[in-house]
Structure 1
Amino acid sequence: MSPVPGFLARGGNPCPGARAAARFRRSGTHAVIGSVRGRLLDKDPGGELLIEAGGVGYRVVVAPSTLAGAGPVGDECFVYVHHLVREDTSDLYGFAELDERRCFEALLSAHGVGPALALAVLSHLPPDELRRAVAADDAAALELVPGIGAKTSKRMVLDLKSRLGTPETAGAAAAAAAGDGAGSAVAEVRAALSQMGFAPAEIRDAMAAVTIEAARDGDADTGALLRVALRELGPR
């Protein structure tokens, strides 16, 4: 995403907002944009929503599940936002649930994890699945995410131990997901595919489709999601 509109005045000279942003970066203060609500102008299949709010179009990077659940173009759209400010750019990352944003921010605090990898983790492991994996020292669950190997997964588990909390203390939303909801069903599908002998790369590809379906249909049970995974995998 390009710098937030208004950071540069005509002719490329810094506007007052840009100078304020520079002071903001030097001071180390956290970004203050926490959510965006407005009309959905576009859904980029590459993983981006364009949301118009107050006459400004905000480009928001999202996971596949958030993209699928955003509704049709023209409707109102709401996302929780993590505003990542760097020296030369300003990016917005959007999430359907506040707990997803909290987990994203916890992932960013782990050694060697940038926003793209953090988003990839949440695309494969919803918040409470991620908490369970970390609490159980299940580094193998993280290795299903593209770009994460054995060494990185073990380091992430160590880094996240004190930052994510446990499924029991994650709040009402996480507790619901830990029960009979879609979050638990997704975890059961992943375990079933592993028991059926599918390779980690095959499971990773199938779980992307499963995660999207679980976000689309919050009432989907393990059997329905397993059928989605097996269709994605095709005949063996």
Structure 2
Amino acid sequence: MIGSLRGTVLERFTPNTILLEVAGVGYLCNVTSSTFGELEPTVVAFLHIHHHIREDNQTLFGFTSRIERDTFDILLATHGIGPSMAMAILSTYSPTALVTVVASGDLAALTIVPGVGKKTAERLMVELKSRLHLDGLSSGESIDSVQSSAADVRDALTALGYGTDEIRDTMRLLVSASDSETMLRDALALLGARRAG
């Protein structure tokens, strides 16, 4: 079993796959969309690996942090969630953001993930509440206000004409704030920077 790899990124393949050269051997690793964006060819990277073995296939999933890999493992232990769905979830929400979504009971946020409908979101919400560490929110932070702010920002961005993919990617990068005005300002700054780039 492979637990981690350190090497140089040789190539990138869509969707979200990199070729990592380690001591002359190339390893194909599936990564999240944010990691894929960071790991340009020639970059030296260290990845925590989940080595997924089936009868007919072996697949490597690479993560830049241990908490991301641990969250992936938790998602895989959830009924009905396979590697592709788990990666889609982590490509939409960082582990910290996912904890916030689950703690707040925000079903609408989960349905932003490609392939997650209402029923899957409801099942995920129930199972993840018992598996994820939900103490990531500071004691003074209101879950209701975080949930409300995130929903307000999504609605505002939709009304401004931004697409689902743009909104999803931006929400993943946002740091949760208790007021929607701050979150919306940060979201628009991120979107503006992306379009300018």
TM-score by length of 1: 0.65
Runs (5+) with no aligned partner, structure 1: 1-31, 170-174, 180-186, 215-220
Paired residues of 1:68 and 1:212 also in contact (CA < 8 A):
no
Q: What is the rounded CA distance, in whole Å, between the counterparts of 2:114 and 2:156 in structure 1?
A: 21
Structure 2 counterpart of 1:33: 2
1:68 pairs with 37, 59, 63, which one? Answer: 37
3-state DSSP of counterpart to 2:21: strand
The structural deviation recorded for 1:92 is 0.4
3-state DSSP of counterpart to 2:68: helix
The structural deviation recorded for 1:97 is 1.4
Within-5 A mapping of 1:118-133: 118-133=86-101
Quickly say closer, same or farther: Cα 1:68–1:101, change in 2 above 3 A.
Answer: same
Q: What is the rounded CA distance, in whole Å, between the counterparts of 2:114 and 2:158 in structure 1?
A: 16
Quickly say closer, same or farther: Cα 1:230–1:148, change in 2 above 3 A.
Answer: farther
Q: What is the rounded CA distance, in whole Å, between the counterparts of 2:23 and 2:148 in structure 1?
A: 43
Rg bigger for which structure?
1
The structural deviation recorded for 1:208 is 4.4
3-state DSSP of counterpart to 1:41: strand
Q: What is the rounded CA distance, in whole Å, between the counterparts of 1:194 and 1:125 in structure 2?
A: 14
Q: Which moved more, 1:93-102 or 1:222-231?
A: 222-231
3-state DSSP of counterpart to 1:49: strand
The structural deviation recorded for 1:211 is 6.3
The structure in which a higher percent of residues are strand is 2
3-state DSSP of counterpart to 2:158: coil
Structure 2 counterpart of 1:48: 17
3-state DSSP of counterpart to 2:12: strand
Within-5 A mapping of 1:102-181: 102-168=70-136
Paired residues of 1:37 and 1:76 also in contact (CA < 8 A):
yes
2:166 pairs with 206, 221, 235, which one? Answer: 206
Paired residues of 1:63 and 1:120 also in contact (CA < 8 A):
yes
Structure 1 counterpart of 2:187: 225
Paired residues of 2:5 and 2:22 also in contact (CA < 8 A):
yes
Paired residues of 1:145 and 1:204 also in contact (CA < 8 A):
no
Q: What is the rounded CA distance, in whole Å, between the counterparts of 1:50 and 1:189 in structure 2?
A: 39
Q: What's the % identity of the aligned pairs? A: 34
What is the RMSD of the two structures over their aligned residues, measured on CA atoms? 3.0
**Alignment-mate amino acid for residue 139 of structure 1:** L
Quickly say closer, same or farther: Cα 1:62–1:192, change in 2 above 3 A.
Answer: same
Paired residues of 1:142 and 1:148 also in contact (CA < 8 A):
yes
Quickly say closer, same or farther: Cα 1:86–1:101, change in 2 above 3 A.
Answer: same
Paired residues of 1:36 and 1:78 also in contact (CA < 8 A):
yes
Aligned residues: 178
**Alignment-mate amino acid for residue 52 of structure 1:** E
3-state DSSP of counterpart to 2:7: strand
The structural deviation recorded for 1:34 is 1.7
Runs (5+) with no aligned partner, structure 2: 142-146, 175-181
TM-score by length of 2: 0.77
Q: What is the rounded CA distance, in whole Å, between the counterparts of 1:121 and 1:88 in structure 2?
A: 25
Paired residues of 1:209 and 1:228 also in contact (CA < 8 A):
no
Quickly say closer, same or farther: Cα 1:66–1:189, change in 2 above 3 A.
Answer: farther
